[in-house]
């Protein structure tokens, strides 16, 4: 989906068809476009990291921040870095 792929009036119509407020369309589209921009940036940065030829490890997202329990959850992934 590109940022121009969805028209606000179409989103508004769809929202109304399921009894949701059409006024939400601009905010939904803004959020969607912001998500696309973040995903593109993430993809670009991933390419930079991969080009560095350094060992990379994907770790799960930890909601709410990292505490002792989160470190225990991340430990297996972090051990992989030591290899």
Note whether 46 and 71 are same-domain residues: no
Note whether 66 and 36 are same-domain residues: no
For 74, the domain range is 56-83
pLDDT value at residue 66: 86
Burial 26-64 (b: 16+ CB within 10 A, else e): eebbeeebeeeeeeeeeeeeeeeeeeeeeeeeeeeeeee
Best CA proximity match to 60, nearest among 47, 72, 74:
74
**For the chain, give me the number of helices (H) and strands (E)?**
3, 0
16-34 pLDDT, tens digit each:
999 999 999 999 999 999 9
33-64 pLDDT, tens digit each:
999 999 999 999 999 999 998 888 888 888 88
Domain count of the fold of the chain: 2
The residues near 8 (Cβ < 8 Å, ≥ 6 apart) are 25, 26, 29
Q: Of all residues in the chain, what percent carry a pLDDT higher than 70?
A: 94
Q: Which band of pLDDT confidence, cut at 50, 70 and 90, is reported for residue 2?
A: low
């Amino acid at each position: 989906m590109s940022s121009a792929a969805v028209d606000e009036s179409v989103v508004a119509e769809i929202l109304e068809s399921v009894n949701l407020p059409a006024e939400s369309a601009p905010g939904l589209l803004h959020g969607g476009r912001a998500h696309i921009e973040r995903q593109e940036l993430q993809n670009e940065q991933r390419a930079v990291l991969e080009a560095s030829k350094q060992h990379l490890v994907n770790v799960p997202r930890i909601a709410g921040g990292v505490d002792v329990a989160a470190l225990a959850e991340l430990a297996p992934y972090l051990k992989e870095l030591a290899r």
